Amino acid sequence: MLLVDDRAGSQELIFPLRKLGLEVESTRLDFGDVAFEGRGEKGRAVSIGLEFKTLPEFVQALRTQRLQGHQLPGMRGTKDQPGPYDYSYLLVEGELLYDKVGQLLKRKRFSLVPLPGRMTVGELLKRKQVLHLCGGLNPIFTSCRKYSLQEIVALYRCWTDQDLDKHKSHLAIYEAPPLIPISPSRRTYKTLPHIGMRASLAIEQHFGTDLARALAADVSEWAGIEVTDDKGKTRRLGIRVAEDIVAYCRGEQ
């Protein structure tokens, strides 16, 4: 369930978010425009809050210090009083336009005029970073309402589809592509313990592309595979390497 504040500004998010498939309830939030309960590590319930502002509203809130002095403490809390949200986000919507000296601009009919607040793009981006690093307010910038809605949906799905510690898209094992293209079977053989480029070629010459045969081979067959080095000398894989490969293929290593 996504809770959206019923006041002007955030209220206009309700219908489009419902149209995108989210269950949305209009309510009055003390702080933030959007709130929901997410799934933290090991399924622990965590509260998520999002403050939504257009770019002109963001600049105005910084200039009046309402964001830093009222909304941020209200969402994140203070040393003496914890806030209502475990994780807080700031979504700023609008085109980031500026002139040659960095002065922020906005569109007005067919021209660009200075954005109220007399702020440069450098100051804006620096303040955004400080709010993130020192205030714990995670920033999201979008150029239009269409993208803002998609960001809210993605944020909700990220926190509710599965537990936080179950996410795996940030994990990977990178292997640089070889300078010389190799076959898929050699690429697979190369993942075996102690096996490099030359050994993978020797294994492919022995087993071909029959991975099932390779996985079923015993220690003696693996140990007897001959590998030719760059000087033309031939050596066998040997028992120790073969034992590690067989154990790996059987899931014992």
Domain boundary among 105, 137, 166: 166
Indicate whether 98 and 147 sit together in one domain: yes
**Residue 245 CB contacts under 8 Å (≥ 6 apart), including other chains:** 192, 193, 194, 195, 222, 237
Instruction: Evaluate whether 222 touches 245 at the Cβ level (below 8 Å).
Output: yes
What CATH number does the domain containing 215 carry?
Answer: 1.10.150
Indicate whether 36 and 138 sit together in one domain: yes
Report the pLDDT value the prediction gives residue 78, as an integer from 0 to 100.
83
Domain boundary among 166, 200, 222: 166
Indicate whether 139 and 242 sit together in one domain: no
Indicate whether 199 and 86 sit together in one domain: no
Q: Which helix (H) or strand (E) holds 15?
A: helix 14-19
Is residue 177 domain-resident?
no
Indicate whether 16 and 131 sit together in one domain: yes
**Placement of tokens 């963001």 in the chain:** 58
Indicate whether 201 and 127 sit together in one domain: no
For the chain, residues with pLDDT lower than 70 are 178, 253
Indicate whether 28 and 57 sit together in one domain: yes
Report the pLDDT value the prediction gives residue 55, as an integer from 0 to 100.
97
Report the pLDDT value the prediction gives residue 76, as an integer from 0 to 100.
93
Report the pLDDT value the prediction gives residue 23, as an integer from 0 to 100.
96
Domains of the chain: total: 2
131: phi then psi, degrees, rounded to nearest 5: -60, -35
Report the pLDDT value the prediction gives residue 24, as an integer from 0 to 100.
96
Indicate whether 142 and 192 sit together in one domain: no
Instruction: Kindly report the three-state secondary structure assignment for every residue of 199-251.
Output: HHHHHHHHHCCCHHHHHHCCHHHHHCCEEECCCCCEEECCHHHHHHHHHHHCC
What CATH number does the domain containing 157 carry?
Answer: 3.40.50.10130
Is residue 140 domain-resident?
yes
Domain boundary among 166, 194, 218: 166
- Would you list the DSSP string of 50-71? EEEEEHHHHHHHHHHTHIIIII
Report the pLDDT value the prediction gives residue 253, as an integer from 0 to 100.
64
218 by Cβ neighbours in 10 Å (0-12 / 13-18 / 19+) ranks as exposed
169 by Cβ neighbours in 10 Å (0-12 / 13-18 / 19+) ranks as exposed
Indicate whether 153 and 204 sit together in one domain: no
* Of residues 164, 166, 168, the one with CA closest to residue 44: 164
Report the pLDDT value the prediction gives residue 243, as an integer from 0 to 100.
93
Domain housing 225: 184-249
